[in-house]
């Protein structure tokens, strides 16, 4: 990237900042929406449009990223491709043993329920200043940004795990690198059920002021 590109990027960023500060009301609305985000399962059509998906993926790249390693790696699977992915996963020799055959129904639900399934991985590289855990945290932040972006665009998401052997099956079918950490699936679509009313934790249970003081946060 040239220094001109950097300047253009910086001025676009400050223009964006100014736009977001146009009125406190805009920021307050965004924050209210953020505080109302809930994961949803199952998810149905409509899934995010191409334009919405582009914005959602752009949000991932806004994650804090020590040393600029960009460790996130995603593969999007949509529509008929989800069924093809499932077919190939279930056809692997490792998927034919009885313990895994019992899980075929579960894998079917995981891979083909939501209209858009993003297979998530972290490509960790050795780095003197950004250890593995920081690179994993960056990937977590990137996925969280996508969940929030999807919510702000009117869709819902659900981050689900892919414990072994599904991890390994996805890795070999989809061509993730041996050093990639599989991080599960980000499912995107439209909620079928009303949002959960489960209350969020009370902030005093996870945050406190130091030194301890009489006033509460």
Residues that contact ligand FMN, how many (by CB under 6 A)? 8
Our CB check for ligand FMN shows the closer of 148 and 172 to be: 148
Of 38, 55, 66, 181, which lies in the binding site for ligand FMN, with binding defined by CB under 6 A?
38
Q: What is the largest CA-CA distance in the chain?
A: 63
Q: Are strands 180-191 and 43-44 parallel, antiparallel or unpaired?
A: antiparallel
Our CB check for ligand FMN shows the closer of 42 and 44 to be: 42
32 known ligand binder? no
Give the nearest distance from C-beta 143 to ligand FMN in angstroms. Answer: 8
Binding mask 101-140 for ligand FMN (x = CB under 6 A): ----------------------------------------
Our CB check for ligand FMN shows the closer of 96 and 161 to be: 161
Of 113, 138, 145, 160, which lies in the binding site for ligand FMN, with binding defined by CB under 6 A?
160
Of 161, 164, 179, 208, which lies in the binding site for ligand FMN, with binding defined by CB under 6 A?
161
151 known ligand binder? no
What residue spans of the chain are helical by DSSP H? 3-20, 24-35, 50-60, 80-91, 98-101, 104-112, 132-152, 166-174
Our CB check for ligand FMN shows the closer of 85 and 187 to be: 187
171 known ligand binder? no
Q: Are the CB atoms for 118 and 74 separated by under 8 Å?
A: yes
**Token pair for 183:** 């991080």
**DSSP letter assigned to residue 185:** E
Task: Look up tokens 């989800």; give the residue.
Answer: 82
**DSSP letter assigned to residue 62:** T
160 known ligand binder? yes
Of 48, 71, 184, 189, which lies in the binding site for ligand FMN, with binding defined by CB under 6 A?
184
216 known ligand binder? no
Instruction: Kindly give, in sequence order, each residue whose CB lies less than 8 Å from that of residue 213, ignoring residues fewer than 6 positions away.
Output: none
213 known ligand binder? no
Residue 129, CA distances (Å) to 38, 65, 69, 103, 125 in order: 34, 11, 11, 40, 11
Q: Which of 150, 125, 157 is nearest to 59 (CA)?
A: 150
**Token pair for 25:** 């009301």
Our CB check for ligand FMN shows the closer of 74 and 159 to be: 159
Give the nearest distance from C-beta 122 to ligand FMN in angstroms. Answer: 11
Q: Which residues pair with 123 in a beta bridge?
A: 180
Give the nearest distance from C-beta 107 to ligand FMN in angstroms. Answer: 12
């Amino acid at each position: 990237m040239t220094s001109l590109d950097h300047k253009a990027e910086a001025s676009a960023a400050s223009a964006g900042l100014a736009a977001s500060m146009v009125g406190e009301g805009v920021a307050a609305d965004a924050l209210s929406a953020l505080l109302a985000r809930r994961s949803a399962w199952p998810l149905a059509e409509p899934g995010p449009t191409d334009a919405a998906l582009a914005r959602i993926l752009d949000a991932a790249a806004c994650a804090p990223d020590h040393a600029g390693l960009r460790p996130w790696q995603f593969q999007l699977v949509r529509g008929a491709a989800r069924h093809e992915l499932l077919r190939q996963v279930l056809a692997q020799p490792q998927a034919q043993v009885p313990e895994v055959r019992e899980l075929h129904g579960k894998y079917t639900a995981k891979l083909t329920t939501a209209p858009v399934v993003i297979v998530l991985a972290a490509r960790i590289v050795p780095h003197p200043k950004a250890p593995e855990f920081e690179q994993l945290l960056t990937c977590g932040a990137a996925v969280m940004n996508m969940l929030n972006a999807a919510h702000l665009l009117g869709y819902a998401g659900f981050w689900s795990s892919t414990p072994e052997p599904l991890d390994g099956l996805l890795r070999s079918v989809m061509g993730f690198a041996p050093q990639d950490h599989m991080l599960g699936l980000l499912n995107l679509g439209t909620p079928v059920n009303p949002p959960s009313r489960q209350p969020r934790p009370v902030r005093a249970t996870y945050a406190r002021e130091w030194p301890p003081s009489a006033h509460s946060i």
